[in-house]
């Protein structure tokens, strides 16, 4: 693993060159507008340039892409820093989007709902019998073996999986008893090379105890991996094929994959991590263990290529993901191709968990069917409008969709850990302060 601190002396001239060439490429397939044409201030957007460049110069991120679209047009689309050592960040860089896979697989699930093949309140055991008679873990103390199991009061439904109230968790949340169970069972979080298939992986998940009674608490976990297997069973197609035929190809998402073709590997951005000198070091291809987290930077091009994680498995570009989000913002349609009905998108982007808060976001956020929903902007202290929906990924990729402002924001970087970073929050503030109409 090599250490680096990015030199500011050459980075700014390089980025100035890149800024000229990037706007059309990153907005591929969507119209490009001047900021003023869509009610934004060019002068005020320059503050985003300074923000992104500052984070690169200070070694907080190696590289980043920031994109803003409004009224269906790309108004801001720029790249900063490097995608790998000696390689400037390029407009078509490919990123491990990890949990930004979840909204895509959730849309795949809703396609099946619209076709009359599933219902949201059906038990998942109707399609995956291994989930019949779930057990709930009750902790008796902090140690690995200090717990007992009780029968679940109700079965897990498809709705529970979509809104993360099933009780299914992740093994890396720092609970020793849960981590031990998941590790011993060989359950994959979708972030490392994994043998076998999601059919085998989901069968292991079904044997794990739940963290809460289904429908009674919000618990972020492997729910969308289970939905990915549901899609396979109901559609009769492997998950990668279903997503390609029903979402990626119709929307023109040409660079979104579970596993990269050989020709696209050079476009995959490297993953960086903070070093002790205040800069960054590039992670190697070997699996990394950080506390309870185990992940690899290379699983998209090394390994068996058979495990299609519905919760974390995809790579994509800013341009591809913009097309997906614009489809949602348009009420399920893009360029004459309809993926979902407007009513379905409305259902997905509405609070589906009542008064439960979600511990991965500020107060004022609840959860819809596949992503977080801002229900109380005053409580959250955010500038986004009520009804904004959003999510992000393990390696610091983020998006938000603001229907009231007809606006989409995307931020793409690759760094872990990243909870210390406030770049996404500042990017959002600087986006909204640039709205003048």
Out of 219, 243, 267, a domain closes at: 243
* 375 within a domain of the structure (yes/no): no
Domain of residue 340 covers 3-97+259-307+317-348+395-432
Instruction: Give the pLDDT of residue 426.
Output: 98
Statement to judge: residues 199 and 131 lie in one domain:
yes
Give CA–CA dist 298/313, Å, rounded.
12
Shared domain for 158 and 44, answered yes or no, is no
Position 401 in a domain: yes
* Domain total of the chain: 2
What digits encode the pLDDT tens for the residues 243-264?
Answer: 999 999 999 999 999 999 999 9
Residue 59 lies in a domain: yes
Judge if 212 and 111 occupy the same domain.
Answer: yes
Q: What is the pLDDT of residue 29?
A: 65
Do residues 270 and 216 both lie within one domain?
Answer: no
Chain centroid to CA 11: 28
pLDDT on residue 178 = 84
Which of 212, 243, 274 is at the close of a domain? Answer: 243
Same domain, 272 and 323: yes
Check whether residue 212 and residue 269 sit in a common domain.
no
CB 31 within 8 A of CB 112: no
User: Is residue 111 located within the same domain as residue 235?
Assistant: yes
Q: Which regions in the chain score pLDDT beneath 70?
A: 1-29, 143-144, 174
- In this structure, the answer to whether residues 421 and 280 fall within a common structural domain is yes
Same domain, 120 and 208: yes
Whole-number pLDDT of residue 357? 85
What pLDDT was estimated at residue 140?
A: 83
pLDDT for 13 = 42
E strand or H helix at 425: helix 423-432
Q: Do 157 and 44 share a structural domain?
A: no
pLDDT at site 143: 67
- pLDDT for 57: 98
* CA 208 – CA 304 distance, rounded (Å): 25
Q: What per-residue confidence (pLDDT) applies to 221? A: 97
DSSP H helices, 29-134, are 42-57, 101-114
CATH number where 209 lies: 3.40.710.10
- Whole-prediction pTM value? 0.93
Q: Are 201 and 324 in contact (CB under 8 A)?
A: no
pLDDT in tens, 23-57: 433 445 699 999 999 999 999 999 999 999 999 99
Strands 95-96, 288-290: pairing is unpaired
């Amino acid at each position: 693993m090599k250490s680096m601190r990015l030199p500011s002396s050459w980075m700014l001239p390089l980025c100035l060159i890149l800024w000229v060439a990037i706007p059309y490429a990153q907005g591929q397939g969507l119209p490009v507008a001047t900021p003023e044409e869509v009610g934004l201030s060019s002068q005020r957007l320059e503050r985003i340039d300074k923000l992104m460049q500052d984070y690169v110069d200070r070694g907080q991120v190696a590289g980043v892409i920031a994109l803003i679209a409004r009224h269906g047009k790309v108004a801001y689309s720029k790249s900063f820093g490097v995608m790998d050592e000696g390689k400037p960040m390029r407009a078509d860089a490919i990123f491990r989007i990890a949990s930004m896979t979840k909204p895509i697989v959730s849309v795949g699930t809703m396609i099946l709902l619209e076709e009359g093949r599933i219902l949201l309140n059906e038990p998942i055991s109707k399609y995956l019998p291994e989930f019949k008679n779930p057990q709930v873990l009750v902790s008796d103390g902090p140690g690995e073996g200090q717990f007992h199991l009780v029968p679940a009061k109700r079965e897990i439904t498809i709705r529970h999986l979509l809104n993360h109230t099933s009780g299914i968790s992740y093994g890396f949340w720092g609970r020793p008893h849960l981590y031990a169970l998941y590790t011993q069972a060989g359950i994959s979080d979708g972030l490392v090379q994994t043998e076998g298939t999601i059919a085998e992986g989901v069968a292991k998940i079904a044997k794990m105890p739940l963290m809460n009674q289904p429908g009674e608490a919000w618990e972020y976990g492997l729910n969308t991996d289970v939905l990915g297997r549901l899609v396979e069973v109901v559609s009769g197609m492997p998950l990668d094929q279903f997503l390609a035929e029903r979402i990626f190809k119709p929307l023109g998402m040409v660079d979104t994959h579970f596993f990269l073709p050989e020709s696209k590997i050079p476009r995959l951005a490297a993953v960086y991590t903070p070093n002790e000198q205040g800069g960054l070091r590039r992670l190697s291809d070997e699996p990394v263990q950080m506390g309870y987290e185990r992940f690899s930077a290379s699983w998209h091009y090394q390994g068996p290529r058979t495990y299609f994680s519905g919760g974390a498995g995809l790579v994509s570009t800013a341009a591809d993901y913009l097309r997906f989000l614009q489809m949602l913002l348009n009420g399920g349609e893009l360029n004459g191709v309809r993926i979902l009905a407007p009513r379905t998108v409305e259902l997905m982007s509405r609070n589906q968990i009542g008064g439960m808060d979600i511990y991965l976001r500020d107060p004022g956020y609840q959860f819809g069917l596949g992503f977080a929903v801002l229900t109380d902007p005053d409580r959250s202290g955010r500038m986004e409008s009520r009804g904004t929906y959003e999510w992000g990924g393990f390696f610091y990729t983020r998006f938000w969709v603001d229907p009231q402002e007809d606006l989409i924001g995307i931020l793409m970087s690759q760094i872990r850990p990243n909870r210390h970073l406030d770049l996404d929050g500042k990017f959002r503030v600087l986006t909204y302060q640039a709205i003048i109409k």
